[in-house]
Amino acid sequence: MRIAVVAITRHGIALAGRVVAALPDAHLFAPEKFRGDAANAAGGAAQCYEGKVGDQVPALFAAFDGIVAIVSLGAVVRLIAPHLKSKEADPAVVVVDEAGRFAIPVLSGHLGGANALAGHLATALGATAVLTTASDARATIAVDLLGRELGWELAATHGELVHCSAAMVNDEPVALVQEAGSGDWWVNHANGRDGPLPANVVRFERIEEVAIDDYAAILWISHRVMPAALAARLAGRCVTYRPPA
């Protein structure tokens, strides 16, 4: 990820140096009046600007995959609000307090990678990642991220993703059918999981084994085309994952 690290105070810039060191291809953006501090903190990765930090937001949104802001959470919300488009297009935004105690994903936690970025920063800074998305807070399956680290492609409508995600976090019965791909996806899932699978998830080896009416949602990991007899019955409540061949 191309990361912009934004800091607007001397203490924030000093911390930003540690953030830049922890993130490959990260660049520090700081006010011109702190050019010396920025250069000391991040060397050649430091860039300085004239004027207000808010004026930099459009260019940062366009040029970077993620933004780490060492700025108050409320200020960041106000700065980015006019520029939001969609979770598919917006960059990941993480706020870190000046003391380096907390890393808080603010925008694009899942698809944009802000949750994973916050987790990485927490490890690098000895901080706490404050994850508020339900699947991460409860360490359950994030339906829209399953297998992402393994190169699995997801096939589902927005409505199917919403339905299956809701079933997962609300502890409704979910069938997870794995017919293909690596079985080592739980520990490597999203921000990393340990312990057993969620109690509401039942695993199957073939989709024909599933008593369809007993499950609110189906997560199907396969190279196959959905059997015609099941396609209509699963409409609206199945997400398909395609591992690499």
Q: Which amino acid is at 192?
A: G
pLDDT at 193: 75
Q: What is the mean pLDDT of the chain?
A: 92
**pLDDT digits 0-9 by tens, 153-192:** 999 998 999 999 999 999 999 999 999 999 888 887 766 6
Stretch 42-60: mean pLDDT: 95
What pLDDT, on the 0 to 100 scale, is given for residue 162? 93
pTM (2 d.p.): 0.78
> Percentage of the chain with pLDDT > 90?
76
Is it the case that residue 14 has pLDDT exceeding 90?
yes
Tokens of 160: 């199917």
Asked which of 9-13, 89-93, 148-152, 160-164 is least confident by mean pLDDT, the reply is: 148-152
The pLDDT value recorded for residue 192 is 66
pLDDT range class, residue 136, cuts 50, 70, 90 = confident
Write the pLDDT tens digit of every residue in 83-117.
999 888 999 999 999 999 999 999 988 778 898 89
Q: What is the DSSP string of 161-201?
A: HHHHHHHHHTT--EEEEESSS-STTSTTSTT---SSPPTTE
Average pLDDT over residues 33-44: 95
Confidence of residue 194 (pLDDT cuts 50, 70, 90): confident
Q: CA 173, CA 206: separation in Å to the nearest integer?
A: 17
Q: What is the mean pLDDT of residues 2-24?
A: 96
All domains of the chain in start order, with CATH: 3-132 (3.40.50.11220), 148-242 (no CATH)
Angle at 157 between CA 186 and CA 58, to 5 degrees: 85
Q: Of 32-46, 111-125, 162-176, which gets the smallest average pLDDT?
A: 111-125
* 209-238 pLDDT tens trace: 999 999 999 999 999 999 988 998 999 999
Q: Report the SS3 class of residue 93.
A: strand
Q: What is the mean predicted confidence (pLDDT) over 14-27?
A: 95
